[in-house]
Structure 1
Amino acid sequence: MAIEVEAGAMAPVMAFALVGALGVGSQWLAWRLRMPAIVLMLVAGVLVGPVAGVFDPARDIGPLMGPIISIAVAIILFEGGLTLNFHSLSDAAKGVRRLVFVGAPLGWLTSTLALRYGAGLSWESAAVFGGIMIVTGPTVIAPLLRTARLSKRPAALLQWEAIINDPIGALAAVFAYEVVLVLNTATTVQAAVMDLVIGIGFATILGVAAGYGLARSFKRGWVPEYMKVPVLFALLLAIFGVSDYVLHESGLLAVTIMGIVIANANLPSYEELRRFKEHATVLLVSGVFILLAASLDFGALRQLDMRAIAFVLAVVLVARPLTVMLSLMGSGVPFKEQILVAFTGPRGVVLVAVAGLFGDRLIGLGFEDATLIGPLAFVLVAFTVVLHGFTLAPFARWLGLTGADVPGVVVIGGSSWTTAFAEALKKAEVPVLMTDPNFGNLRGARAAGIPTFSGDILSEAAEQRLELISYATLVAATDNDAYNTLVATDLAPEFGRDSVFQVMRAKSDSARHQLPRTLGGRNFGPEETHAGLNRMIAEGWTFRITRLTEEYTLEDWRTKRPGAHLFARIGPSGAIRLVRKDEEVKGAPGVRIIALRPPGEEEGEQPPADA
């Protein structure tokens, strides 16, 4: 049977391919240019959509667009819930409770007032839209946190608030709409309230039961390993659909609760599930934002006047800061962190999707001003995405709430050679942290004033106490090759496989002991084992730092120091890169190199070049 395609329309398959290419391409370009990914996705969608007219989701995808966005948002919220392990809250727990239990209703009130007196909406439209505005957007927060590299507690506050308040905002809109419906139809108040209570209760019970049942089945081995992710996806869609059928938008609450239950069930395969979901979420966030931007209707935006600007400024400068500051008052959260959270409130796709839905319903009830809800939602999302996309990182840096400006190095294992290497990094002003399960092995590092952590880097205590966001490179260098391989393999997804290094294993040359490329980290420096490097330090080898100039190039350095082993290259910006023995290193003026040099090369050096 032939499928009719509207003239000028793009085939659905090509439309999906375009959305994927633009979304992932924008994220990659943002990574290369060190720009906020959300901003580039928004620009890409607007360019191919309303500007060029190449892609129109309503025309090219048609009725599938609504369900696609709904399912995507549900999966994004579930993945967010899957990251919310109660152990990770630590000292941010009280602040999160305040932002949810105090901030949500207070935000509803302040947003409603901003809509009523700023945008000029009726009380009915303002109350419904104000409930949706509780949402701060996990689809936006996650990419922003990835780029800004915030300290642990403010990042946890923003992440938990966004994910937990997302379904709460949708349900607040449902509640407000039910009230408006009661006042304008023959429906009784009791019936509306009963529907709402039943829907919320059903969603909560369904989410808890699904999460508990899935965790139990995984633990007992009722689901084979290769089917865990498909079963998870199928159950997620089923829970979302059933809950949404009972009460519209309650499916978001159900899948969020399901994710939180699974996150706290101590599943052995939890990390694999979470990482797969993270990858899926990157694709979904990209796609949803492209669809959102490409669907922009310039005609609808022309309905807005100067009151729309007043509304946006009132939300960003008054409603959001007032809500957060009052919520966190007396919570123990430091004032600087309160300021950061107060002035960070980006909105995302959930706001636009739910606002459009209830805007149409309010129009059906006779509220003509509800035609402004969709355009106002998009303007608020676009403004906050661009604003926070460009200002969050510098603002947090100004407040001192980010990782170090220069990405540091985590050295796993305390010994004579790792201590000497860490001292060289410290001298080069590269942040360094040394960890070792044995407290005594860190004695030399503590004497040298190097920050240390005594314990297993893979433990929950390390996850809660260490701000690893300040570090971009990891070196596994204990005297236990198996432990080094375990650490490098486990932390590779967090640091990036190209940034995880491991001291050469003792039996790596033996065919019987070679490991697959998927395990362990990259080798670096001379082809020496942990024992060999310790022996070199005992024989008088030392780490030295050399700054390259126009007159003193890398070739000059190699000529004068043929016996030296190059360990690391530090660029003009301070970014460090460990190098392999035969790796081609690019030298340039301003670059510093760290090398391990034999005792005989100490004589006749150029003092200005070396440290």
Structure 2
Amino acid sequence: MVPSLLFEVMLIGLLGIGSQWIAWRYRMPAIVLMSISGLIVGPILGIMNPEEDFGNLYNPIISVAVAIILFEGSLNLSFKELKGLGRPVVRISTIGAFIAWILGSLTAHYVAGLSWTVAFVIGGLFIVTGPTVILPLLRQSKLKATPAKLLKWEGIIVDPIGALLAVFAFEIIAFITSTNPDGSSLFLFFAASFFAVILGWVCGRGVGWMFETGHIPEFLKSPAVFIVVIFAFTLADEIEHETGLLAVTAMGMTLANLGINSVADMRHFKENISILLISAIYVMLTASLQLEVLLKIFDPNIIGYVILMMIVVRPLSIFLSTWGTSLSLNEKMLVGWIAPRGIVALTVSGYFASILSDAGYEDASIIMTLTFGLVFFTVCAHGFTIGPLAKKLHLSLEGRPGTLIVGSNKFTMNLAKTLSKSRNPVLIVDSSWERLRLAREAGIPFYHGEMMSEQTEYHLDTNPYEYLVAATDFHSYNALVCTTFMPEYGRTNVFKVSPYNMIDGGVNDSVDRVGGRILFKEDVAMEDLINKIAKHYVFRQTTLTDQYGYKKYLAEKDKEAVMLYALKPSGKIKFYTEEMRVSPESGDTIVSLTPPKKEIKKIKERLENQRNNGNGNNANNANSGNNENQ
């Protein structure tokens, strides 16, 4: 066992974030690694058992964390994002959820051998996927926009619905089987659910109003939001168990659609908190499992139940609910396969296991085993297959990394041409049709719009692009673009042209220190690059070999050349900056903006050859003329 509770808290954080880092580094499903690390330190090695060690604090910690995670996910549910997808999302979240509930309950009864009461309770619970499992998978897999949005919306909306369906099933069955039926409990359930939605809406509107009117200072906005989230969740949950999830979802969606800048500004902070909580909770939940629970998941009935839920119940519910919608067959197949269960299923199933056991249902003892079996197998199966399946169905954005260039001019247009020739996706964004004329004439993909506007956020799919280059004539605007998109692209993938001032002979410190790495050289500004294009500088591509290495290239290159980027055979791009060291290897291609000395030399040689050939032809013509005269 761990020496202290403080050490255990440290170990949970280390395992959670360590699993996230390993998953990022080696492109593996993070939720699988977190679950495995929890199992190793928990039931397998017996190093810790958070449920016992935290005591009465364990369940409240898990509940509050789930509420915050669900709220953070629902903050991304803007109705503007549903353009063209409203019908499939509504159908999957309603008809699809109902079909999955009925089919899952039948499977639990006839395959897992559960009583009708227990089967219908967990049948409702097991329709949930949730942001704790879906969002990490979407972050890892890089799906196209349609399936990614469908899975995200379904996971967040159905999360509270599944928990409420389980409560509803229990209340209905208790009402039907009671010797003295009393409808007050059913009325309380529906009234509490309605109250939870209204509470979430009121809290969302209230927070939005206080933000807009300045009643909350900037430094208190994030703490205030989290306290209100916990308040809404706790108040609703105290009235009726599991309605708290409905309250925080309603609050998050309300804030997401108010269009308040303060909420958008907190997005990355909330995402960081959510990642930290997800990492910690998965380790805590799996570390708290008993070894006998793990061994029971290999029971034939449980394995059979899990397999049918994955390959029959889920695909049928998706195909039947999306019949007649605009979704393609490939999109239905992918969404019909991906349905990992997560934290909500594990936490709520524990609650119902005790409730049903107290009510006299002996088969409720296997609920935790059944739940963990479904969670673990779906997390592993879907975590490892979402990427390959998406590629197979042509729904993946995996491929050569793309570059998003903000600003259309002669330099960026030629830079985009070199990237296109290398089969790397490229897109030029500009708010001026006149400036975009260069890109249109060159056949370069472009987007007409303001990069910083909200409309661009919803209409421009930035998923194919790993790198962002801000290359407009306005240095402050370039810095603002880089600062805004740095959390999305990463600090090492956001670049801007140098804010070098040719008149003062230096760099504007205030602009230099804000956002983005300076491209190429600090003393090479945008006007320098455009002037070089006007002087017919060429974009030269040089491929390194074992015989012609990087050192030899540097020794022979023109001193006036501007080295732009190194391109690896995989398509990965390394832009030259003074802050990042680029070390190309054999097989890499270096792209530079070079004086046209070689081209001029070739032109002179060609003209000389033509002149010599012309003189030779004239001499031959003269000789033949003399012969004729003779």
Relative to the length of structure 2, the TM-score reads 0.92
Deviates more, 1:592-601 or 1:348-357: 592-601
Which residue does the alignment assign to 2:74?
Answer: 81
Amino acid corresponding to residue 406 of structure 2 in structure 1: I
Query: 1:368 offset after TM fit, Å?
Result: 0.8
Corresponding position of 2:32: 39
1:572 aligns with 2:575: no
Percent identity over paired residues: 41
Q: Distance in 2 between matches of 1:96 and 1:223?
A: 35
2:528 is aligned, of 525, 528, 532, to 532
2:383 is matched with which residue? 389
Aligned residue number for residue 171 of structure 1: 164
Measure the CA separation in 1 of the matches of 2:595 and 2:533: 9
Among residues 392, 400, 403, which one is paired with 1:398 in the alignment?
392
- Decide whether aligned partners of structure 1 residues 363 and 517 sit closer, same or farther in structure 2, where only a CA change above 3 A counts: farther
Q: Tell whether 2:92 aligns with 1:99.
A: yes
Asked if 1:345 is matched to 2:339, the reply is yes
Give the equivalent residue in structure 2 for 1:588: 585
Structure 2 residue 442 is matched with structure 1 residue 448: yes
Distance 1:89 1:433 in 2: 24
**Amino acid in the other structure paired with 2:420:** K
Determine the C-alpha separation between the residues in 2 that align with 1:604 and 1:55: 74
1:269 aligns to what SS in structure 2?
A: helix
Residues 345-371 of structure 1, C-alpha deviations (whole Å, 9 max, x = no match): 111010011111101111111111111
Q: Distance in 2 between matches of 1:133 and 1:516?
A: 52
Residue 480 of structure 1 aligns to which amino acid in structure 2? F
Match of 1:49 among 39, 42, 55: 42
More off after superposition, 445-454 vs 282-291: 445-454
Residue 201 (structure 2) aligned to one of 182, 205, 208: 208
Of residues 509, 513, 519, the one that matches 1:514 is: 509
CA contact (8 A) 2:175 2:183 kept: no
- Matched with 1:608 is none
Shift of 1:457: 1.8
In the aligned structure 2, how far is the partner of 1:319 from the partner of 1:248?
27
Ranges in structure 1 where 5+ consecutive residues have no aligned partner: 1-7, 606-611
Counterpart-to-counterpart distance in 1, 2:175 and 2:15: 44
Larger Rg: 2
CA contact (8 A) 2:432 2:448 kept: yes
* Secondary structure of 1:111 counterpart: helix
Does the CA-based 8 Å contact 2:475-2:511 persist in structure 1? no
Instruction: Quote the offset at 1:455 in angstroms.
Output: 1.1
Greater Cα offset, 562-571 or 320-329:
562-571
Structure 1 residue 513: deviation in Å? 3.8
Amino acid at match of 1:276: F
Instruction: Report the CA distance between 1:446 and its aligned residue.
Output: 2.2
- Where in structure 2 are the equivalents of 1:469-480 lying within 5 Å? 469-480=463-474
Partner of 1:458: 452
Q: Could you tell me which residue of structure 2 aligns to residue 317 of structure 1?
A: 311
Deviations 1:418-453 (A, max 9, x none): 111111111112111111111121222222222111
Is the contact between residue 517 and residue 579 of structure 2 (CA under 8 Å) also seen in structure 1?
no
**Aligned-partner residue type, residue 283 of structure 1:** L
Segments of 5+ residues of structure 2 without an aligned counterpart are 603-630
TM-score by length of 1: 0.95
Which amino acid is the alignment partner of residue 175 of structure 2? V
| Contact map agreement 2:426 2:445 (CA 8 A) in 1 | yes
Task: Tell me whether 1:548 sits opposite 2:544 in the alignment.
Answer: yes
Tell me, what secondary structure is at the counterpart of 2:574?
strand
Q: Distance in 1 between matches of 2:325 and 2:52?
A: 50
* Letter matched to residue 531 of structure 1: E
Report the Cα distance in structure 1 between the residues aligned to 2:93 and 2:411, rounded to whole angstroms: 49
* CA distance in structure 1 between the aligned counterparts of 2:597 and 2:480, rounded to whole angstroms: 37
| C-alpha spacing 1:512/1:597, structure 2 compared with 1 (3 Å) | closer
1:560 to 556, 575, 586: 556
Deviations 1:446-495, CA, capped at 9 Å, x for gaps: 22222111111222332233221110000000112222122111111111
On the 8 A contact 1:116/1:122 being kept in 2, the answer is yes
1:598 aligns with 2:595: yes
8 Å Cα contact 1:488/1:520 also seen in 2: yes
The answer (yes or no) to whether the contact 2:130–2:341 under 8 Å persists in 1 is: yes
What amino acid is aligned across from residue 571 of structure 1 in structure 2? K
Offset of 1:302 from its aligned partner? Answer: 3.6
**Deviation, structure 1 residue 519:** 2.1
Is the Cα–Cα contact under 8 Å of residues 574 and 582 in structure 2 kept in the other structure? Answer: no
For 1:253-292, what aligned pairs fall within 5 Å after superposition?
253-292=246-285
> Which residue in 1 is equivalent to 2:616?
none
Deviates more, 1:584-593 or 1:510-519: 510-519
Q: Cα offset for 1:10? A: 4.2
Q: Does 1:498 align with 2:495?
A: no
Distance in 1 of aligned mates of 2:2 and 2:538: 68
Instruction: Write the mapping of 1:23-422 to structure 2, written as runs, cut at 5 A.
Output: 23-185=16-178, 188-304=181-297, 305-422=299-416
2:558–2:594 contact (8 Å) kept in structure 1: no
**Aligned position for 1:5:** none
Return the offset for 1:57.
1.1
Who is 2:624 aligned against? none
Q: Which amino acid aligns with 2:112?
A: A
Contact 2:143 2:397 in 1 (8 A): yes
Rounded to whole Å, the distance in 1 between the matches of 2:487 and 2:82 is: 21
Paired residues in the alignment total 598
